[in-house]
Amino acid sequence: MITTPQARTLERKSVVYNFSAGPAMLPAPVLKKAQSELINWRGLGISVMEISHRDPVYLQMTEECEQDLRDLMSIPSNYAVLFMHGGGRGQFSALPQNLAKGDDQLDYLNTGIWSDYAIREAKKYVRQVNSLNVMGEEDGLKCVKPQAEWQLNANAAYFHYCPNETVDGIALHQVPEVSVPVVADMSSVILSEPLDVSKFGVIYAGAQKNIGPSGFAVVIIRKDLLETQQERVCTVMNYKVQAEEKSLYNTPNTFAWYLAAEVFKWVKAEGGLAAMAELNQRKSALLYECVDNSRFYRNTIHGRNRSKMNIPFQLADESLNAQFLKEAEAEGLIMLKGHRFVGGMRASMYNAMPYAGAQALVDFMTRFEKAYAK
């Protein structure tokens, strides 16, 4: 039995595939590079954590970081890029304070757990937050109702949605066509495929899924939207201040920023977002095919709204859950337990997950089914 964290480390196979939803696996070459330069960064003889965030060497890193992200996502010049504190949920509070007045109206699409948290937070700062309950069912499968059925408000200060619901495994693969600025929580889908940034007012993402360490966030905002904040906005969360200060109003999470910069370089070297999209498509198709071709496993989300990043699946016989997890872990396939709200299993496969990881999971699932199917 693997019980303690220590035992876990000792018993790990040489190859471990980490399916954690977040904080999630980082690209191995990035971790190796960070390790190799940990005590001597850019020839300074000290680590990146021990240097002023206003030192020219550090500033050069932040500039490269922003440029790499701009290159990767083709971010137009009328957008500012902010590197902020407080992860994804920090932005749940920052958005309404920065983009709306207290008596404005806001539209929030409610497609799952993260949308719902965002809505609850927005209600603290803006009186009228319309929660658009758009989840429906088709052929017995969960789906997002077509846009024609959404009760949109043309007077909303902005429209918020979560293109990839990390817990529920529900995705919107098209950007909604609305007449107000679109704000998207891309925490678990940013950098996974090419995107037309110009369709958005704000794109934001907590870093710990596809960018780097937790507690850090990226905000991409159309510059004209920097002008509408409430009278009192917590200064470190003030988009306008952070844009003017190049995200250096106070001491940023310098190590997280550095690792994010290394991840961007890695994505570029791998061929950019087109290459990521192709890889993510192949990995997710492989796993969905395995689930769909079996009566032993199931996924209850309509094909139209299936996530390519987070794939929840259930065993038909839930009493086998513990056995499944134990055997998977013994094979180096770890962190497959579903979210506590959803149960079952969940495989998160962000950019850093190689195709071999998806293949190893599917091979294991096929063997497990053969061994336990009645």
Q: Which of residues 200-259 bind ligand PLP (CB under 6 A)?
A: 206, 208-209, 214
Q: Least separation, in Å, of the C-beta of 217 and ligand PLP?
A: 7
Q: Least separation, in Å, of the C-beta of 212 and ligand PLP?
A: 11
Report if residue 348 touches ligand PLP, rule: CB under 6 A. Answer: no
114 is catalytic: yes
145 is catalytic: no
Q: What are phi and psi of 153, to 5 degrees?
A: -115, 115
**Whole-angstrom Cα distance, residue 111 to residue 160?**
11
Tokens of 243: 């844009």
Report if residue 89 touches ligand PLP, rule: CB under 6 A. Answer: yes
Compute how many other C-beta atoms are within 10 angstroms of the C-beta atom of residue 354.
16
Q: Which span (98-106, 183-191, 311-319, 350-358) binds ligand PLP, by CB under 6 A?
A: 183-191
Q: Least separation, in Å, of the C-beta of 228 and ligand PLP?
A: 23
Which one of 27, 88, 176, 252 is in contact with ligand PLP (CB under 6 A)? 88
In order of 12, 18, 249, the CA distances from 26 in angstroms are 18, 9, 28
Closer by beta carbon to ligand PLP, 23 or else 272: 23
Report if residue 185 touches ligand PLP, rule: CB under 6 A. Answer: yes
Instruction: Using CB atoms within 10 Å of the CB of residue 195, give its burial: 0 to 12 exposed, 13 to 18 middle, 19+ buried.
Output: buried
209 is catalytic: yes
**Site track 21-40 with ligand PLP (rule: CB under 6 A), x = hit:** -x------------------
Q: Which of residues 131-170 bind ligand PLP (CB under 6 A)?
A: 162, 166
**Cβ proximity of 257 and 64 under 8 Å:** no
In order of 5, 29, 222, 274, 309, the CA distances from 192 in angstroms are 31, 18, 21, 8, 8
Given 142, 209, 265, 308, which residue is catalytic?
Answer: 209
Task: Report the alpha-carbon angle 340-122-230, nearest 5.
Answer: 150
Instruction: Output DSSP code: residue 203.
Output: E
**Cβ proximity of 236 and 85 under 8 Å:** yes
Report if residue 188 touches ligand PLP, rule: CB under 6 A. Answer: yes
Closer by beta carbon to ligand PLP, 89 or else 101: 89
Which residues are designated catalytic? 114, 185, 209
Q: Where on the chain is the footprint of ligand PLP (CB under 6 A)?
A: 22, 87-89, 114, 162, 166, 185, 187-188, 206, 208-209, 214
